[in-house]
């Protein structure tokens, strides 16, 4: 299998991207991060990428606030194609991606979500789980489809919700599992072991 060429899109700290870089450096993931793009000019993920000598750029997604569409979507597609990426990794990218991007990279756009989907799609999912009184929470890596956090699931990892948890302590526990889940999902993809059958991802 040729090594994966990953374009990472993120809006925040970039700890999931870091876990992917660590897996690559540690020899457990056969991939290369060929670019990092953020819709937030001063997002720490950009600085983190540059420290690893990865081309990193801010690309505005204006005028929209919550989605990637229109000319901005075109610019993202072009930037991702330009570096020869074959897989788009959404790692804390806080926008809904639209059919244009999905059509440009069919079956090759992945996302990580801080909840056990289909529970708690959308924002601040760990807080939703806490407020709901869940005893178990977790994270999901999934292929992206045209819905919100609704695509076929590749990997899920669970954590307990503990007495006295705050949104912050629960999010931290979930994030520790995210950092295992994303490299794991990408390892399966890199090995050619994933196929999408309807809603289900078969793992060979």
Among 4, 6, 7, 15, binds ligand GAR (CB under 6 A): 15
Site string for ligand GAR, 35-64 (x = CB under 6 A): ----------x-------------------
Listed residue (149, 172, 132, 182) closest to 21, CA to CA: 182
Question: Would you count residue 13 as binding ligand GAR (CB under 6 A)?
Answer: yes
Which of 52, 113, 142, 179 is the catalytic position? 113
Nearer to ligand GAR, 127 or 187 (CB): 127
DSSP string, 48-65: HHHHTT--EEE---TT-S
- Annotated catalytic residue 52: no
- The CA-to-CA distance between both ends of the chain, in Å, stands at 15
Burial label for 24, CB within 10 Å (0-12, 13-18, 19+), is buried
Stretch of 31-39, 61-69, 75-83, 106-114 lying at the interface with ligand GAR (CB under 6 A): 106-114
Among 6, 21, 112, 129, binds ligand GAR (CB under 6 A): 112
Q: Are strands 31-38 and 4-9 parallel, antiparallel or unpaired?
A: parallel
Nearer to ligand GAR, 28 or 148 (CB): 148
Write down the least CB distance from residue 175 to ligand GAR, Å.
5
Listed residue (109, 123, 128) closest to 170, CA to CA: 128
Tokens 């931290």 — which residue? Answer: 172
Stretch of 80-88, 108-116, 151-159, 185-193 lying at the interface with ligand GAR (CB under 6 A): 108-116
DSSP string, 15-53: HHHHHHHHHHHTTS--EEEEEEEESSTT-HHHHHHHHTT
Q: CB of 20 within 8 A of CB of 91?
A: yes
Write down the least CB distance from residue 204 to ligand GAR, Å.
26
Binding residues for ligand GAR restricted to 137-196, rule: CB under 6 A: 175, 178
Longest dimension (CA), the chain: 49
Contacting positions for ligand GAR (CB under 6 A): 10, 12-16, 45, 91-92, 112-114, 175, 178
Instruction: Point out the residues that are catalytic.
Output: 113
């Amino acid at each position: 299998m040729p090594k994966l060429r990953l374009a990472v899109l993120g809006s925040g700290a970039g700890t999931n991207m870091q876990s992917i870089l660590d897996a690559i450096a540690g020899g457990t993931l056969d991939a290369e991060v060929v670019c990092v793009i953020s819709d937030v000019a001063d997002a720490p993920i950009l600085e983190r990428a540059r420290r690893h000598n990865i081309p990193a750029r801010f690309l505005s997604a204006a005028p929209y606030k919550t989605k990637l569409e229109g000319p901005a979507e075109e610019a993202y597609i072009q930037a991702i194609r330009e570096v020869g990426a074959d897989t788009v990794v959404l790692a804390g990218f806080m926008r809904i991606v639209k059919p244009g991007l999905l059509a440009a990279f069919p079956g090759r756009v992945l996302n990580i979500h801080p909840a056990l989907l289909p529970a708690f799609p959308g924002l601040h999912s760990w807080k939703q789980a806490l407020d709901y009184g869940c005893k178990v929470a977790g994270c999901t890596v999934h292929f992206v489809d045209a819905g919100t956090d609704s695509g076929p699931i590749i990997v899920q990892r669970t954590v307990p919700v503990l007495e006295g948890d705050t949104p912050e302590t629960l999010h931290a526990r979930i994030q520790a599992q995210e950092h295992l889940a994303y490299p794991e999902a990408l390892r399966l993809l890199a090995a050619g072991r994933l196929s999408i059958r309807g809603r289900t991802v078969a793992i060979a």
